[in-house]
Amino acid sequence: MEALIKALKTFGNTLPTILGVILLVGLIKVALPSSIFTHMFSFNPFIDSLIGSALGSVLAGNPVTSYILGGEMLKQGVSLIAVTSFIVAWVTVGIIQLPAEAILLGKKFAIIRNATAFLFSILVAIITVFLVNAI
């Protein structure tokens, strides 16, 4: 019973964020034509994963919202590899918070961690999509 109460409280705390993202996605869908995504991505697996990782690195956020955005990107025709690299970079790379991370953990560590996470977001996306398509 205690676990159920904690889960409901957690859901209640994340609900405003989820609703905000859904509203933001709806606004973006109205403001931007869906063709922008097809022009942004080339359907070349390596280039798409690079673009997806770059977008995810700059637009960093929490995992819950990345799934909503990723789902909308897939509906717009963005390749699975681009969406996968976007989601992985979204939660692991943080260009926005790099200055704070450099102050707290050291400049060298922050740069190496973010660069490694960026490269691994591309690698993880390629391997994941390969495995999904192989099954």
pLDDT digits (tens, 9 = 90+) for 58-88: 877 778 778 888 888 888 888 899 999 999 9
The stretch 97-102 carries a mean pLDDT of 84
Q: Do 102 and 66 contact (CB within 8 A), yes or no?
A: no
- Look at the chain and report how many structural domains it folds into: 1
Overall pTM > 0.75: no
| 55: in domain | yes
Q: Does residue 84 fall inside a structural domain?
A: yes
Residues 6+ away with beta carbon under 8 Å from 114? 57, 93, 94, 95, 98, 101
Asked if residue 42 is part of any domain, the answer here is yes
Parent domain of 85: 34-134
Cα 63 to Cα 41: distance, rounded to the nearest angstrom: 22
Cα–Cα distance for residue pair 91/89, rounded to 1 Å: 5
